[in-house]
Amino acid sequence: MDDGAIRKRVLVSGLVQGVYFRDSCRRTALAEGVAGWVRNLPDGRVEAVFEGDADRVERLVRWAHTGPGHARVSGVAVADEPVEGLTGFTIR
């Protein structure tokens, strides 16, 4: 990670499970060169961590507001976190 790296934790609400949100998120993150992970939560939300270049991370955060075609996002909560130096992007 370079000095311009940032990390965001994103909680996405709405119809976001069962619509390929996690896989689409992983593919989008890899295409952008953003590290991190994504997982379903028991309450129906999706949680993701994006880490990398600030512009690329912000693009992923914007993407999370709509997600893949069948998703219906009703809310997105974003929190800044300390960079951990993650590599790759995984579905948990």
Give the bridge partners for 72, in sequence order: 15
Query: Is the per-residue pLDDT at 1 higher than 90?
Result: no
User: What pLDDT is recorded for position 4?
Assistant: 84
CA 41 to chain centre: 13
Count of domains in the chain? 1
CATH of the domain at 48: 3.30.70.100
Region 33-42: what's the mean pLDDT? 97
Pair 36, 50: CB distance under 8 Å = yes
Whose CA is closest to 74, among 13, 31, 30, 28?
13
Q: Which domain holds residue 19?
A: 5-91
Model confidence at 2, pLDDT cuts 50, 70, 90, reads low
Instruction: List, by residue number, the catalytic residues.
Output: 22, 40
